[in-house]
């Protein structure tokens, strides 16, 4: 499956970029040097969410065009007022 708007990431950081995956979901796609982190992050994310902490649901590991990623619930953070 190819994420929606794959060419327009929501965020780009040193280790990964975040793209829309489907309605209500995003995928964190790792840059190749850090792809090995996906399984560990997904596992930790599932445990933390199951424990009831306020973190996005998800944790499925996927492959998109040769890149490894983790799918998460898209949680919108309210903007801070100045």
pLDDT in tens, 23-68: 889 999 999 888 888 999 999 999 999 999 988 998 799 998 889 9
Say if 4 falls within a structural domain.
Answer: no
User: Does residue 23 belong to any structural domain of this protein?
Assistant: yes
Q: Is residue 54 part of a domain?
A: yes
Identify whether 40 is part of a domain: yes
pTM higher than 0.75: yes
Whose tokens are 């040193």? That residue is 14
Count up the domains in the chain and report the number. 1
Instruction: Provide the edge-to-edge strand list for the sheet that holds 67-73.
Output: 11-12, 16-22, 25-30, 67-73, 58-64
Domain containing 30: what range? 11-73
> Which CATH number characterizes residue 39's domain?
3.30.200.20
């Amino acid at each position: 499956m190819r994420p929606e708007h794959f060419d327009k990431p929501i965020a780009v950081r040193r280790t990964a970029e975040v793209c829309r995956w489907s309605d209500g979901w995003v995928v964190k796609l790792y840059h190749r040097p850090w792809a090995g982190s996906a399984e560990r992050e997904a596992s930790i994310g599932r445990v933390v969410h199951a424990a009831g902490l306020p973190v996005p649901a998800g944790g499925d590991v996927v492959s998109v065009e040769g890149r490894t990623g983790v799918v998460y619930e898209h949680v919108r953070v309210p903007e801070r007022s100045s």
